[in-house]
Every structure is written in C-alpha cells, then in structure tokens.
Amino acid sequence: MLQAIDLTKRYEDGVLALDFLTLTVKEGEIFCLLGANGAGKTTTINLFLNFIDPTSGQALINGIDVTKEPLKAKKYVAYVSENVMLYGNFTARQNLDFFAKLGGCPDLKKEDYYMYMRKVGLPERAFEMRLKNFSKGMRQKVGITIAIIKNAPNILLDEPTSGLDPKAAAEFIKVLSSLRDQGKAMFMCTHDIFRAKELADRVGIMKEGRLVMLRTREEFLEDDLEKVYLDYMQEAVVG
Amino acid sequence: MLFHIILRELRSNILSLRMLLALVLALTVFGLGTLVFVANYKIDRKEIEHSSQQEIERMKAAAAESVSSLANWGFNQDFGPRSNSFISNSREDNLPVRFMYDSFKVDRFFVWPGRNPLSDSCQPLDWMFIVSIIISFSVLLLAYDTVSGEKEARTLALSLSNPVSRGLVLFGKYVSVILSTILVLVPGMALSLLIILSSGRIAITRGTLAETGLFLAAAILFVACITAFGILTSVLTHRANVSLVAALSLWLLFVVVVPNTALYWAQKLFPIERMENVMQRINMERENLEKGMPEGWRKNSASLVENYAKLENEFLASEMKVRRDWYNQMFSQYERTRLITALSPIAIFEYLCEAAVGGGYLRFRKNWLDMNSFQLQFLEFVKAADAKDPESPHAFSPNSWGISGKPVDFSDVLIFQEKAPSIQERFSHAGLYLLILFFYTTAAFALSFVLFVRYDVR
Amino acid sequence: MILQIAIKEFYNNLLTARFSIGFIMCLFLIPFSLVVNLKDYREQLKGYEIERAKTEKSYQVRVYSALRPEIVRPPEPLSIFSKGISGNAENKFKIRLETWVSTADGYETGRENPLLMSLFSMDFCTILVFVLSLFALLFTYDACSGERESGTLKLVLSNPVHRWKVLIGKLIGVCLTLLPVIMFCYLLSALFVLLAPEVSFSAGEWLRVALLIPVSLVFFGLFILIGLLFSCCFRSSAASIVLCLFVWVISIFIIPNLANSLAKSLVATPSTEELRAGNVLLIREMGKKINDYSQSIIKQMKPDFFYWDGKGGEDGYMEFAGASRSTMDFRRQFNEFREPLRIEYAEKKGVGQKEYMDQLDAQVKLANRLALLSPTDVFRQVSNALCRTDYDTRHLLISESLQRYRDDFIGYLKGKKVFSSYEYFTRQPPGTFMDYDEIVRVRSGGQFNSAAEFIKWRKEHGGDRSPLNKVPIPGTAITDYPLLELTDMPTFECQSPSIPGVLRQSMGKIAGLIGVELVLFFLTFVCFVRYDVR
C-alpha cells in the first residue's frame, strides 16, 4: 500500500512542485497519475523513493515512513523508470541477476531468470544478449522483469510506456494487469491517457503540484477521460 | 552559412567548462613558465658568460705565450642559452652545447656541464611545451565530442535536417575548434611577452617578433592537425565516452608512446659503431702509420722535427677521418630516429618550433659545420702567424715544437661568432616535417569527412 | 551486498573499451621501456667492468705515494624499474690527498651517442604512473554521474541498499579492476628481468621491487578517489572527466617540471667556474708555500737531484730507486712538509666545494618539496628511494661513505707515518742509499771517480748517461721490489639506505598520500550521500 499524506515539496529555487498531496494506492489497484510535463508527477515518485526529502507531509510504503526508515521502506517497493538504460555491457540475465541480488533475492538460478523473461514476453534470443543492443521496448521489459523479480507489494512506474510502439506498449500493459491480479499496488505516472483509460483503477490529474481531479474507473469511463483531461489542461492555459 | 555554424560552435565552446579550464591552465603555465624562464635565463647567461670569458683569457694567455700554444691548446666554445628560448628550448639542456677545438680539429662536443647532477631532468615550461601538452590536450577535449556528443544530444540530426551540407557542418566545427584554441593560445603568448617586456632583462627585437610569428604559424598548423585527429575520433564512434577514450589513447600515443620508444628504434634499427671499436681503429691506424715511417727516423736528428711533424699530421688526418665518420654515424642515427618520431604530430611540432627559433638540433648542426670551417680559418691564421716568424722550423703539426715560439697579438686572433640559422636554413629544416604534418592533417580530415558523410545521425 | 556491487563494477569495467585499450597500452609500452633500460644497464655494467679492472690495478703499487684508491660504484640494477638520477651522475671516484670528494670524475654513464641523451625514455615506474593513473581516472570519472545519466543509479537506490555500501562497492570494484593490471605489469617486468642475461637481482632487490607494489597501490588509490570525488561532485560525466583530466595533466606534466625550474630560479647554484677560480687561487697559494719550503730546504740540504730509476704522476705521486742519498733525504723531508699541507688545502678547497654541494642539495630538496604537490611526484620520489636511485642515496654515497673513506684512508696513511718515511716514495732500504759520487764510481766501473767528473763529461757529450750503465747496482730499479701488502688498508663500503631506512623516510610521504586519500574519501562519501540522483 502506498500512501501520501499532505505530501509537499518546495525546491530550493522556490518552485512548489507538490502541494499537499494526499493519496492512497491499495493492493491490487493501479493508480494512474496524469499531468503535463513539470506537473509534479516524477517528484511524487522521487519522494516515495526518498530520492528527495519532502518539505512537509509523509510518504508511506506499507505504512513505513520513507524518510524515517528508507531502507525498510524500499524493501516493499519496486521501481520502473522511464527509458532506463541499465548496464549496456551486461546481458539481460546479468542485469537481472545484479538487481535481484540488490533487491534481496540472491538465490535465483539462470532458469529462473529465463522463466521471468519468458513471462514478460522477451524473445529467447535476447536472454543472453548485451543490453546495449536492445530496443526500447525490450529494455522496458527487462525493467519490469526487475520489478517482478523483486516481488515487492508496491510498484512505482515513471512513464513506463513513453517511447514504446503501440504493440510494445500493449504487451507492457498486459504484464501490468497480470501484476494487478497478483495484488500489487501500482502507482504509475504517465501522459498516456489511452493506456491509463485501459488500465487504471483510479486516475488522478495533476497540475502545478496539485491533484486537481480524482476519478475511479467507473467515473472516468462514464465521462470522457480525454475531454476531462483536456479541459483541465485548458484551464491551466487559461488560468 | 559557414560563418553561422562557426559562430554557434564558437559560442558553445567558449561557454564550456573545458574551455575555461584550458584558458586558466594555459594562462597560469604561460605566466609561471615565463617568470621562471626570466629568472633562470639570467643565471644561465651569467654562467656561460663567465666561462666564455675564461676561455678568452686562456686564449689571450696562449697568444701571449706563443703561436705554438695558440695552435695546440684546446679551447671550449660554449653555446649559451638563446634569448628566444622562452618560445622553445628545443631540448638544448640535453643536447651538446660545448665544443672542444684547437687549430687542428674540432673533436668533441658535450652537454652543458653546469647542470645540477643531482636533479632530475625536466622539460622547461616554454611555449612549445605548453602547446604540445596543454593545448593539444585541450584541443582533443574540445573536439572529441563535436560529432558523437551532438549525436547523443540529438542536436546533430536537427542541424542536418536543414538544407546544409554535411561537409560544411564538419568544416564549421573544425574551424571553430581551431579558433577557440587560438583564443586560448594568443592571450597566453601575449601574457608571456608582456612579462618578458616588463622584466626588462631580455630585449625583444624584431627578430624575436618574427620568430613569435613563425611559432604561432607552426602552432596553428599543429592545432589544425590535432583537431583533425580529434574530430576523427569523434566521427569514429557513436558514443562520446568511447570517442574520449579513443582521443586519449591517440594523445598518449603521440605524447608518450612514440617519443619514448624512439630510443629503442635508434638502438635497434640504426646501431652505430661502438666507442671501443672506434678507438681500436684509431690506434691500429696509428700503429700502421708508425710502421710506415723510415727505419730509425727517431735517431736521425737532422730531419727529426720534420718527420715527427709528418707523422703527427698523418695521425691527425687518420684519426679525424675515423672520428668524422663516427660523428656522421651519430648524426645520421639521430636524424633517422627523429624521422621515426615524426609519426607523432607532437614531435613534428617540436621540430617546427626548433626551426622557428633556430635552436636545438638545427643550431647544433649549424654550429658544428660552422665550427669546422672556423677551425680551418683558425688553422690558416695560425699558419700565417707561424710563417711570419723566420726562426720557426715551420714544421706544422699538432703537439709539436715545430711551430713558432713567438707571441701573437691577441687582437688579430680569430674568435668564433655564432650565427643564427638563416630563414632559408630554417625552412629547409622544417620542410619535410611541414609536409608530413600537412599530410596528417589532410588525411585525418579527409577520413573524418568520409566517415561523417556516412555517419548515422540517429 | 557490497560484494555484489563490487563484482558488478568489476565485470562492467572489464567489458569496456577503456580497459582493453589501457591494457594494450601497458602491454606495448612496458616491454619497450624495459628493453631500453636493460640495454642502458648492460652498457653501464660493461663500463663498470672495464673501470673495475683498472681500479684493481690502482692498488698494485710499490710505494705509498702511489696509493690513490679508486672507487667505482656498480650500476644500480634497480634503475631498470626507476631510473631516478642514476643516469646523470657519474660513478667513479678517486680518493686523493689534494682534493675533497665532491663530484665524481670520469666513467660517464651516458649513451654512446651523446645526441641520444636528448631522447627520453621512460622507466617502468613512469609508465605505470602515466598509463595506470589515467586508467584509474577513466574507470571512476563516471561512476556516479554516468549511472545517473543512464538512470541505473535510481534503479539501484530504489532497492534497500545503503548509499555508502554502493560507494564502497564501486571503490572495491575499481580496485579489483586495476589490481590485476598492476600485478600483470609487475609480473611482466619481473619476467623480463629474470630472462635477461647479466642481470640478476638479489633477494633484497626483489624485496624492494615487491615493496613498490603496495606503494603503487596507495598511489593509484589516490587517483581512483579523485575520479570518484569528481564523479560525485558533478551531475554530468562530461564535466567530471574534463576536470579529472586537467588534474591529471597538472599532476603529471606541470607540477614536476615547474617545481624543478622554480627551484632552480629560487636557489641559485654558484657557478662551477667561480668555484674553479676559487680553487685556482688556493692551489696557487699552496704552490707558493711548497715552493718556498722546497727552496729553503734545497739551500739547506743541497740535494744533487740524482735519480736512477723513477716515475711520478698524477696527484704528485713519485717513486724512485737508486737515487742519491741527498736526493732521497730531500724528498723525505719535502714530503713530510708537503703532504700534510696538501691535505690541509684539500680541506680548504672542500669548504667552497661543500658550499657548492650544499647549494645543489638545497636546490634539489626544494624542487622535491615543491613537487610533493603532485601525487605522481610523491610516487616517483618513493619509488626512486626504493630503487636506490634517488637523491638521498647519492647524497649518502658522496657526503658520508666517500667522505668517511677518505678520512679513514688519510688516517691510515698518517697512522703509518708514511709521509715522513722513505717508504712513501721508495722501497730501497735506507741502508743501501749511496752518495752521488759513490754511485757514479760504482756504475761507471771506475771510469769516473766523482760526480763532478761525470757531470763534466756528460756536458761535453751532449747529456750522454750511458757510462753509468756499465755496472748495475742491484736494488736500484723500481721493479726490483715487490708490491706493497695492503691487507690492513681500510676498504670502501658503499652505504645505501637500508630498506627500513627508506621506509622510515618515505613514511611521511606515504602517510601524506593516505591522509589525502582519507580526506578525499570523506568528501566523496559526503558528496555521494547527498548526491541528487534525479
């Protein structure tokens, strides 16, 4: 479970990146945070990962405050970033191996890694290929495999589908929904309204650090999400 | 269009950290190096003047004693530090600068003996050093990511999506790196000249300014060459950090590998005769000549002086033949080795600077030849002085009593004057190296051009 | 966890282009330098053997005045690793009464072709410093900033790992990468030395080489930390590498060269010519004293200067046999006065020479101290000290070992009271000395009855001495006497700093390096903990 309680971040240069965000993502739920560039989506993720300290408020992972016990909190969270390069000189399996050991799963064997990679739909030939020769979609799949292997109850995803072609994105989404079925709490930042619509259990729209809209799946399926989103964005321009 | 590209490149170079660092470092070293030069030049000059003065005194003493002494005493001719060696010392610290001669021969040369034997040999921080190390390094740092870095930042594709030819873009980058380097180089040189002017110890003549100009020209050619290599490393790869490693390796190759393996090649490829062999040959010749003399000549007191002189002259001629031959071996060994080191543009630049300031090996060779012709004149002079003396046996030879014992007026005695190499000599010294440098530059640039035309900008 | 990160770094480094390029560079440069240095060493060894044979002869003398010990120092085999100043100093020393030991004379260690002196060749340690320090920087400059740029740093830190563990892991990983390269370089050089004929290291020398390894590790540690610090200071690896490389150039090219020239201009050495001029004055003064004395005793003793067999030479040595009694007596008395005077004047000349040497020392010391600013120079100084090619070793040789030996030698001569003895210049027993008249009578077989008669005859016959060859007198040729037994003569022992001594001396420098490393580590640690991974 991911919880943000009055989470606020004001940077040194005075920019208010996040303004009293309060939010909970439960097990088996995918929460999609939409918003323009610079709306504060990535700041939220960085706060959850304790890469930056909040100005006020708390970020809790499974009830653990990330600023107080960052290491304990990080046990319960996996992270998939936008466009991660990983270690280009290593093969996919070597990358997985390294991160598995970091994430606290030291005893996996080659076959186990292969199995995980098969699960996310990586082609067999890629298993022992150097990562620098991977396409973006394949890299992203390795990224999600790392998260799967870590087997944390919470997953933070930062624009995971950006730059992927529709087919790759669709495959990626499939993996995410299977993860939901396993009961993971997922927090995903994205610009991609269509994917969000397809996948999310709840959607939030963020603007200038504030969560300006929050809809459940039923609600946003009723209203036209694109229209809602554009309206809010429009407002930003006008306002 | 070209102007536009160059301007943009220049602007981004000037604002970069490396440019700033290069400028600060170059200015600091230019300043410190010149300050140190001014101080040391005075010390060295004093030392050499002292020793030259003593040689003059000895010559005076010899002249006052007799023609024979003047003919037979060995004198040292020292070639002191040049006042323009702040531009380039050209390794004169390690090259022979003292020649030993008498009226019969110029037979030995030494490295300056006054050096502190306890200290490590070091390279003086002259302009040449600064350009060949700091500037060349900065050039590579400026050039290594001109293409691969832009590719990574994706600005390359953007630039090339405009109606502008790739050649122009590459050339613009090339010129702008050279221009930025000149922006580092010229203030440094100006600072250095300013320090020298304000020290008041070294006069800056028109000749020095001309040499400065020649140096600047050589430096720009050199920078152009290194830039071409830098750009080549940049278009060779698609990732800036790989180009960096390639550029650094190239630099190490030029600065460290080629110059430091020169000695190996010199010894392996162009071995010269061993000193022992040469000495043995000289002694054998001596024995043969002695055997060739008529039986019992030493007992024949009537013609003893003539015979002795004849033998001594033969000894001299044979020894000098062997020695000259050996020296020529040395010279050709050294020259060929230098040609091998011309693999590295940095070595070429060093030779160009040598030509620009008229120092180093160019100076040594010229002095060696001049010294040899001077010795002939000196011999003629001593012979003439001997001929004036009716009491002399006129049996002219080294180590003999066959020469006049009358004193000579010192004011008539010839004294060697060093002549700086003429402009023709300098250019002919530099000619081959210039050609090689030009070849490298064009080859590297042409190769980069070909690679850039095919460069995958994605 | 640290181990995991270290291993990952190690593999990652191993797979990069920089690793293979650096490795090839070492593989290429080290054999070249070793071949050149081994050849230099062999040349020196050859020169040494020749000189050595000559030196043996200098002890085969019949009289004490001819005893002028010559000391030839064998070339330093460790100079193959670190040349230091072994190349520019000569290695033959003569112990003479008249001169104070300062600089060497003769037996140059230069190359056959003096022009080649202007070509530089690097020794093993320099190449190690050049290539491997660059190597260390190239492996570390993007340790943080590079991972940040590729996004892996975020991914790593999203796991429950302490940041310090990541840092230490990286540090160990880089060390693990460099260690085999360093070891390989050392092994390669050891192999060359082992395979080279004529070169054999003693156990102590191998130990010194082995000690170079930890010193080089400490040294490379510094560059690793510099690279890490910059990579943690900057957000972009391009900035980090530029700074790293500038630090590298300053440390390797600028500071050592600047330190040397700066020291030269700060501590002026008196000119050798001035020194020589001062000595000439002293020599003249001494010459006058000796001349005055000899005039006075000639007046008093009226020697006839008849010598039968004799030779003399450098440093005023002379050896006679069959000379007339008055000549021998004159010589003895003359030597009794002259030799202590010469020793005294040697001391006087020594004052100037010592000042000169002190200035040279001060210059070098200052240069070395200034150069300590550059870590490369610290390593160079320590490695030279370990290889016995540094300034201190030289200083110890000249100022202590040789000085002491000269004192011992003079003490030995004085102890035997040789200056006032006949044995100083002749082995003929004083009982067999004859007057000039007697000699002439015996030798000419009675042709002349007195010296005056012979001198008169000789003048008339153009200096002909042949009548004196008629009857030989036994024991009047130099070669009639055996060589001196010199078993009790002091022998020269060349002291060089012992290994513990060197370590003690270098301790400060190494400790300084380690101190700087600790500071750097601390800074890196602080920077990394506060590093903004976004």
pLDDT single digits (tens) C446-498:
888 888 888 888 888 877 778 888 888 888 888 888 888 888 888 887 777 78
Residue B240 contacts C, CB cutoff 8 Å? yes
Radius of gyration of chain B (CA): 29
pLDDT in tens, C70-113: 888 888 888 888 888 876 666 778 888 888 776 544 444 456 67
Interface test with A, best of C155, C161, C165 (most A CBs within 10 A): C155
Residue B260 contacts C, CB cutoff 8 Å? yes
| Contact (Cβ atoms closer than 8 angstroms) between residue C453 and residue C298 | no
pLDDT in tens, C393-449: 888 887 788 888 889 999 998 888 888 888 888 888 888 888 888 888 888 888 888
Report, as an integer, the average pLDDT of B438-454.
94
pLDDT at B175 over 90: yes
Taking only residues 145 to 164 of chain C, the set having a beta carbon closer than 8 angstroms to any beta carbon of chain A reads 150-152, 154-162
Q: What is the pTM of this model?
A: 0.88
Residue C12 contacts A, CB cutoff 8 Å? yes
Residue C253 contacts B, CB cutoff 8 Å? yes
Please report the pLDDT score of residue C86 as a whole number: 75
Pairwise CA distance, residues A66 & A57, whole Å: 11
In this structure, is the dihedral angle defined by the CA atoms of residues B161, B164, B166 and B169, taken in order, positive or negative? Answer: negative
The subunits that touch chain C, with at least 3 C-beta pairs less than 8 Å apart, are: A, B
Question: Of the ranges A159-168, B394-403, C429-438, which one carries the lowest mean pLDDT score?
Answer: B394-403
CATH class of A2-76+152-235: alpha beta
Please report the pLDDT score of residue C8 as a whole number: 86
Instruction: Provide the mean pLDDT of chain B.
Output: 88
Report, as an integer, the average pLDDT of A49-59.
89
Residue A110 contacts C, CB cutoff 8 Å? no
Taking only residues 98 to 117 of chain C, the set having a beta carbon closer than 8 angstroms to any beta carbon of chain B reads 103, 110, 112-117
Burial class (CB in 10 A: 0-12, 13-18, 19+), C487: exposed
Of B222-226, B321-325, C497-501, where does the model show the most confidence? B222-226
Buried b (16+ CB within 10 A) or exposed e, C138-167: bbbbbbbbbbbbbbbbbbbbbbbbebebbb
Which pLDDT band holds residue B114 (cuts at 50, 70, 90)?
Answer: low
Q: B170 to chain C nearest CA, in Å?
A: 21
Name the residue ranges covered by the structural domains of chain B. 2-258+345-453
Report, as an integer, the average pLDDT of B58-64.
89
pLDDT in tens, B247-306: 988 998 898 888 888 888 888 888 888 888 888 998 998 888 888 887 777 777 777 777
Report, as an integer, the average pLDDT of B196-221.
90
Q: C528 to chain A nearest CA, in Å?
A: 12
User: How many percent of chain C have pLDDT more than 90?
Assistant: 19
> Closest chain B residue to C371 measured between Cα atoms?
B120
| Contact (Cβ atoms closer than 8 angstroms) between residue C227 and residue C18 | no
Q: A175 to chain C nearest CA, in Å?
A: 19
Please report the pLDDT score of residue C106 as a whole number: 42
* HSE value, Cβ hemisphere, 13 Å, CA-based, for C319: 18
Please report the pLDDT score of residue C103 as a whole number: 59
pLDDT in tens, B358-368: 999 999 999 99
Q: A99 to chain C nearest CA, in Å?
A: 7
What residue spans of B342-390 are helical by DSSP H?
345-357, 360-388
User: How many percent of chain C have pLDDT more than 70?
Assistant: 97
> Closest chain C residue to B114 measured between Cα atoms?
C272
Residue C142 contacts B, CB cutoff 8 Å? yes
Please report the pLDDT score of residue C448 as a whole number: 86
Please report the pLDDT score of residue C88 as a whole number: 65
Question: Of the ranges B235-244, C90-99, C364-373, which one carries the lowest mean pLDDT score?
Answer: C90-99
Please report the pLDDT score of residue B219 as a whole number: 96
Which pLDDT band holds residue A239 (cuts at 50, 70, 90)?
Answer: very low
Residue B242 contacts C, CB cutoff 8 Å? yes
CA C512-C517-C522 angle, 5° bins: 130
pLDDT at B327 over 70: yes
Minimal CA–CA distance to A5: which of A50, A46, A54? Answer: A54
Residue A12 contacts C, CB cutoff 8 Å? no
Report, as an integer, the average pLDDT of B210-229.
95
Minimal CA–CA distance to C491: which of C415, C409, C433? Answer: C409
Please report the pLDDT score of residue C90 as a whole number: 67
pLDDT in tens, C211-247: 999 999 999 999 999 999 999 988 888 889 889 999 9
pLDDT at B341 over 80: yes
Question: Of the ranges B228-242, C19-33, C107-121, C315-329, which one carries the lowest mean pLDDT score?
Answer: C107-121
Please report the pLDDT score of residue C31 as a whole number: 86
Contacts of A74 in chain C (CB under 8 A): 158-161
Please report the pLDDT score of residue C247 as a whole number: 92
Please report the pLDDT score of residue B226 as a whole number: 96
Residue C275 contacts B, CB cutoff 8 Å? no
Higher pLDDT, B2 or B330: B330
pLDDT in tens, B12-22: 888 888 899 99
Pairwise CA distance, residues B146 & B240, whole Å: 9
pLDDT at C517 over 90: yes
Name the residue ranges covered by the structural domains of chain A. 2-76+152-235, 87-151
| Contact (Cβ atoms closer than 8 angstroms) between residue B361 and residue B368 | no
Please report the pLDDT score of residue C102 as a whole number: 65
Note whether C21 contacts B263, CB cutoff 8 Å. no
pLDDT at C134 over 70: yes
Chains B and C form CB pairs within 8 A to the count of 197
Interface test with C, best of A98, A108, A149, A159 (most C CBs within 10 A): A98
Residue with tokens 């012709």: B373
